Structure 1
Amino acid sequence: MPIRQLPDTLINQIAAGEVVERPASVVKELVENALDAGARRVDIDLEEGGVRLIRIRDDGGGIAPEELPLAVSRHATSKIASLDDLEAVATLGFRGEALPSIASVSRFSLTSRRLQDEHGASLQVEGGKVGPVVPKPHGIGTTVEVRELFYNVPARRKFLRAERTELGHIEEWLRSLALARPDIELRVSHNGRPSRRYKPDELESLVRLDETLGEDFSRSALRVDHAAAGLRLHGWIARPSYSRASADQQYVYVNGRSVRDRNIAHAVKMAYQDVLFHGRQPAYVLFLELDPTRVDVNVHPAKHEVRFRDTRLVHDFVYRTLHEALAETRAGIVPQDVAAAPFAPRAMGAVPSAWMPTQQSPLGLSVAEAPAAYAALYAPAPDASSGSLAGHASPSMPMMPAHDADGVPPLGFAIAQLHGIYILAENADGLIVVDMHAAHERIGYEKLKQAHDGIGLRAQPLLVPMSLAVAEREADVAEREAATLAALGFDITRSGPQSLSVRSIPALLSNADPEALLRDVLADLREHGESRRVAAARDELLATMACHGAVRANRRLTLPEMNALLREMEITERSGQCNHGRPTWARFSLNEIDRWFLRGR
């Protein structure tokens, strides 16, 4: 078959295959164009899940009548004019492919009016054939109508799902947009009935979180806002106690653009690794801001993905920011009422010094005591009558004096032990219930990590160097990242194009499978620029040790012991969850307890 130039209609339909996956793709492209035009309100009318009709009406700046044919021409756009513009693009759309692609697979009309125009103008596109521009009454802004999507491409249309499914995809994308743009009013109707309205929220309160993700997310959300190295990460992450069975509440935006990025997703996963219950997914809404020239948004036809100039820096920045924020999820810290302080950082600070022990805690192990850390956890438990916790000094700390509501510590003061498992405490607001084993396990685990961090990751030389066959790109990574691997406890040299010689491994993990661990580390370094495989394996071992060393169920504690445990929880990082992600404490307000007994009714 000879080489020939493709007709414009076929070119546009091929592009439509990349840009227009389903009705939700059409809504996305058209609404993004409206926002780029300065719209403050967007009305979205749908019929049959968007298959029969998608009508997008905005109050933006409008399009000049003579430019309407250009708007439906391939690679025609008002958003970029040079390579420099493309490298620093700040608009949501910029390719100039959306309108001609959509118009080529639908019955399409475009009507618009600018502020200076006496009336609107409109044109029709039928299966890619552009009609004349004609006058038409219209308010300021633009209306795009897309009817009978894929009517002329039946092979594509038969792949569309049921009406409810297609509508669900549209609603999910609008939810993502509503989170990113609380200043925009969005009105949605389906089959002639209003179905959703997002009111504009000029004060940038957390109303949009309630509307989109629900009050449960808002109540558990921790505000994140950190800037360094030309990067800024802000938004909300849910406390580990609020987790999901799926990744349905994970939203990431780069310079305002909703994206799916494996690098950021991996960094978030690593940050939650130590606090999330197995198999559960974190929930978050995160906005990453950086110089547009440091990120390439022109890597995916539908603009779903981006490419960072410095992947390692972004990964490390996101991980450390969230890791430190989650470290402040101490027991007793309850998110503030969101209505009281919009956009204010949630209560994640350290426990006031007045509530901290004035001497060494009975559960405490300082970094200087690292050599004794393991022995302390494995020390035999004395009799219950001895008045001390297993493996720790006697809790001789005196009871804290009773305080008024402003002076009571977050977890209050112990009043009883329930079935040898739970500690009951009274604080200023009501009742605190603590799982004493889970809490003590987390405290011991954090102490062990702190102690081991003081020692560092020591290397254990192998009697006989291990030869490892790898792919050439893995050998390249090992050679390039030799210093990083050495810091993790691996002494590795390249012995050939596809082979490595391993002379030492991390001492703490000498009983693990060094070959599998090393391969995983190399894969992480190649993909993300860093690896926490060794730290994760170390932490798993320390978590097991802490679990064995924690106080067991049916162990009777004295009130001083219980109060000592509460005070340790208040000053220990991540003490809101045990090492396996289970909650360590629960809070029941006095009002809630009153409702149990119908008091005041």
Structure 2
Amino acid sequence: MTLTAPQMRDVQRPVIRQLDEAAINRIAAGEVVERPASAVKELVENSIDAGATRIEVTIADGGKTLIRVVDDGCGIAADDLPLALSRHATSKIDGTDLLNIHSFGFRGEALPSLGAVGRLTITSRSGAGAATVQVTGGRMGPVTPAALTKGTQVDLADLFFATPARLKFLRTDRAETQAVVDVVRRLAMAEPFVTFVLRDATGGDSRTLFRADGETGDLFDALRGRLRMVLGRDFNDNALPLDAEREGFHLTGAAALPTYSKGAAVAQYLNVNGRPVRDRMLLGALRAAYMDVMSRDRHPVACLFVDCDPTLVDVNVHPAKSEVRFRDPAVVRGLIVSGIRHALAGAGHRSATTVGHAVLGAMTPQAAPQGPARVYQMDRPSVSPRFTAASMTFQSGFAEQPSARIEPVAEDQGGAERLPLGAARAQLHENYILSQTAEGLVIVDAHAAHERLVYERLKAQMADKGVPAQALLIPEIVDLTPAEADQLLAVAEDLAGLGLSIEPFGGGAIAVRETPAILGTVDAKRLILDVLDALQDGGDTAPLRARIDAILSRMACHGSVRTGRRMSGPEMNALLREMEATPLSGQCNHGRPTSVTLSMTDIERLFGRT
């Protein structure tokens, strides 16, 4: 309906009102307390700020009906209890400098917000006597004497009873309980010297959901022990320690091997000055650090601690204090990327121990997969099994042989079994190298391993003086769509630096005049199509370095040992030795493991000998 001019004059001007304290607190609670896990986070952080060495959390019905936090911290004096429940009242800061925060809490919003939407009871002892106070839906009762030997106990019952609409947005009890567990785990990793206990009292029964006893020793030892306890033995066995500094920022923690990854970003723990955060920039830096060694559908596992002067980071970005803003984010991003990549490079040929465990678990009859399997470019049989010396440093004569046969290798006399990847003993199905070590057996995917080696050589050549090119006797013409041709020609100069020289040939066709020398004789059309795939995967938004690395990775597939080609004993051993000397050789360019290690105990278990 359209209002006429007289009707518009009759519309009353809205009146500006000052909201009462109860409404203000309920509005603030919407920002601070999204769900029971948010309340647990705020209360546990208060306990940590109070200097607690033991914190016990009890929940019921996912935290909807009860959240209880008990600590042995310094407590709150009886006279200060009413003030502690007032908005923007805090003992953490004096308000003169909001960029020099040394505590978890500082906004003074948590307790009044919780009291506004639930039934909050605080009992605390500081000094001679203990006292208690209750707040129900924002209405505070009197402070009365209580019995408590030490610290503070906070009970929050019937969360969101004062704002019942919020209850409709909560998930199931199981989901809310899991969110609480995740919060306590993250805080436990940030505070390794503090004991954390989380119990579920639903239905009157009490069961322990999580427990981490306080660690001892120096900070690094304590952190290592806490991560082992919280993230498990598998993470501990496959994690690489981090210790790097740059321009006032210090990175510590642990990052897992690329082959120890997850299908979702559920095991990425970020901390800034001891505060658990979920920051997009930090998550992006973590992802970038693994970009060269992990498939895009896999996610790294890591626990990172970034420490700096508090004035270099603003934690007052969001009421939940889960986001931060760095004064110089590029420095922090560079520190994380370089620190993790340096650790990964130092891991050399290592692959996750869980790969071997998966192999043992997979040695049972499996149903045949339904539907056609996807065939990757790198898994196709080689058109030509012969390579030039430029393509393999361990090249010798290759003979075309039937597949699916084991080629025995003579006993070596050089003590190679004592080396990490051992001595090659056989080649299975013209792809898998069986190597004997002093402790067991190593199975190497020759194609995947050599693909990584060629890729690392291409990167080294590119960084040095560009990739040498070899001219084709007859340029190869590749027919593409006009759009595809334009996309390739737009980066022709960059491709030339990679040893791939192309030029337009009319319509959508392009002429390939040179290919990278390290690849030897290759199918130029397949190479061009793979380079085009790499460009389309990265898109125009990907950094140039990332796009170049993606192109080099695709090129490496064409210079690698192909499935179906027999290798001699010296060639296999040379491949193993180069793997041991090459950073990141524990996984191929797509993040898959290049080798599987089985100990003698593992092998004997397969035959029931243990």
What's the TM-score bracket when you normalise by the shorter of the two chains? 0.7 to 0.9
Tell me the residue number matched to 2:263. Answer: 245
Residue 219 (1) aligns with residue 237 (2): yes
User: Matches of 2:560 and 2:272 in 1, distance apart?
Assistant: 43
Residue 324 (1) aligns with residue 342 (2): yes
Match 2:58 to one of 45, 62, 77: 45
User: Matches of 1:332 and 1:107 in 2, distance apart?
Assistant: 54
SS in structure 1 of the partner of residue 448 of structure 2: helix
- Whichever residue aligns with residue 65 of structure 1, its letter is A
Contact 1:209 1:215 in 2 (8 A): no
- Whichever residue aligns with residue 90 of structure 1, its letter is H
User: Matches of 1:563 and 1:456 in 2, distance apart?
Assistant: 29
How far residue 514 of structure 1 moved from its aligned partner, in angstroms, is 13
User: Matches of 1:559 and 1:547 in 2, distance apart?
Assistant: 23
Evaluate the alpha carbon distance shift between residue 2 and residue 104 of structure 1 in structure 2; reply closer, same or farther with a 3 A threshold.
Answer: same
Residue 436 (1) aligns with residue 446 (2): yes
Contact 2:351 2:596 in 1 (8 A): no
Contact 2:351 2:594 in 1 (8 A): no
Matching of residues 499-510 of structure 1 within 5 Å: none
User: Matches of 1:518 and 1:591 in 2, distance apart?
Assistant: 44
What do residues 435-476 of structure 1 show as CA deviations (whole Å, max 9, x unaligned)?
011111111111011111112599xxxxxxxxxxxxxxxxxx
Matching of residues 21-100 of structure 1 within 5 Å: 21-84=34-97, 86-100=98-112
Evaluate the alpha carbon distance shift between residue 278 and residue 404 of structure 1 in structure 2; reply closer, same or farther with a 3 A threshold.
Answer: closer
SS in structure 2 of the partner of residue 90 of structure 1: coil
How far residue 211 of structure 1 moved from its aligned partner, in angstroms, is 3.4
- Whichever residue aligns with residue 282 of structure 1, its letter is P
Matching of residues 554-573 of structure 1 within 5 Å: 554-573=564-583
How far residue 516 of structure 1 moved from its aligned partner, in angstroms, is 9.0
How far residue 177 of structure 1 moved from its aligned partner, in angstroms, is 1.2
Tell me the residue number matched to 2:599. Answer: 589
How far residue 210 of structure 1 moved from its aligned partner, in angstroms, is 3.7
Contact 2:121 2:134 in 1 (8 A): yes
User: Matches of 1:382 and 1:37 in 2, distance apart?
Assistant: 70
- Whichever residue aligns with residue 168 of structure 2, its letter is K
How far residue 546 of structure 1 moved from its aligned partner, in angstroms, is 1.3
Tell me the residue number matched to 2:249. Answer: 231
Contact 1:329 1:573 in 2 (8 A): yes
Residue 8 (1) aligns with residue 21 (2): yes
User: Matches of 1:200 and 1:176 in 2, distance apart?
Assistant: 14
User: Matches of 2:606 and 2:581 in 1, distance apart?
Assistant: 32
Q: Any gaps of 5 or more consecutive residues in structure 2?
A: 1-13, 354-381, 398-409, 469-493, 498-514, 517-527
Tell me the residue number matched to 2:588. Answer: 578
Percent of aligned positions that are identical: 46
Matching of residues 57-456 of structure 1 within 5 Å: 57-84=70-97, 86-114=98-126, 116-117=127-128, 119-191=129-201, 192-195=205-208, 196-203=210-217, 204=222, 206-332=224-350, 381-382=385-386, 392=393, 394=395, 401-403=413-415, 408-455=418-465
Evaluate the alpha carbon distance shift between residue 513 and residue 237 of structure 1 in structure 2; reply closer, same or farther with a 3 A threshold.
Answer: closer
For normalisation by structure 2, the TM-score amounts to 0.76
User: Matches of 1:185 and 1:73 in 2, distance apart?
Assistant: 29
Contact 1:261 1:306 in 2 (8 A): yes
Tell me the residue number matched to 2:552. Answer: 542
Tell me the residue number matched to 1:481. Answer: none
User: Matches of 2:111 and 2:49 in 1, distance apart?
Assistant: 14
Evaluate the alpha carbon distance shift between residue 539 and residue 178 of structure 1 in structure 2; reply closer, same or farther with a 3 A threshold.
Answer: same
- Whichever residue aligns with residue 234 of structure 1, its letter is T
What do residues 338-367 of structure 1 show as CA deviations (whole Å, max 9, x unaligned)?
xxxxxxxxxxxxxxxxxxxxxxxxxxxxxx
Contact 1:381 1:390 in 2 (8 A): no
Backbone CA RMSD of aligned residues: 3.1
- Whichever residue aligns with residue 413 of structure 1, its letter is A
How far residue 588 of structure 1 moved from its aligned partner, in angstroms, is 0.6
User: Matches of 1:321 and 1:541 in 2, distance apart?
Assistant: 24
Evaluate the alpha carbon distance shift between residue 200 and residue 393 of structure 1 in structure 2; reply closer, same or farther with a 3 A threshold.
Answer: closer
Evaluate the alpha carbon distance shift between residue 226 and residue 514 of structure 1 in structure 2; reply closer, same or farther with a 3 A threshold.
Answer: closer
SS in structure 2 of the partner of residue 416 of structure 1: strand
How far residue 157 of structure 1 moved from its aligned partner, in angstroms, is 1.8
Tell me the residue number matched to 1:375. Answer: none
User: Matches of 2:278 and 2:59 in 1, distance apart?
Assistant: 26
How far residue 421 of structure 1 moved from its aligned partner, in angstroms, is 1.1
How far residue 194 of structure 1 moved from its aligned partner, in angstroms, is 2.6
Matching of residues 469-548 of structure 1 within 5 Å: 520-521=540-541, 533-548=543-558
User: Matches of 2:53 and 2:606 in 1, distance apart?
Assistant: 46
User: Matches of 1:515 and 1:577 in 2, distance apart?
Assistant: 22
SS in structure 2 of the partner of residue 187 of structure 1: strand
Contact 1:332 1:411 in 2 (8 A): no
For normalisation by structure 1, the TM-score amounts to 0.77
Evaluate the alpha carbon distance shift between residue 87 and residue 389 of structure 1 in structure 2; reply closer, same or farther with a 3 A threshold.
Answer: closer
Evaluate the alpha carbon distance shift between residue 516 and residue 548 of structure 1 in structure 2; reply closer, same or farther with a 3 A threshold.
Answer: closer
- Whichever residue aligns with residue 335 of structure 2, its letter is F
User: Matches of 1:562 and 1:514 in 2, distance apart?
Assistant: 30
SS in structure 2 of the partner of residue 82 of structure 1: coil
User: Matches of 2:394 and 2:423 in 1, distance apart?
Assistant: 21
User: Matches of 2:559 and 2:58 in 1, distance apart?
Assistant: 61
Contact 2:246 2:331 in 1 (8 A): no
Contact 2:587 2:593 in 1 (8 A): yes
- Whichever residue aligns with residue 547 of structure 2, its letter is A
User: Matches of 2:337 and 2:446 in 1, distance apart?
Assistant: 30
User: Matches of 2:536 and 2:240 in 1, distance apart?
Assistant: 36
How many residues align? The count is 496
User: Matches of 1:265 and 1:400 in 2, distance apart?
Assistant: 47
SS in structure 1 of the partner of residue 117 of structure 2: coil
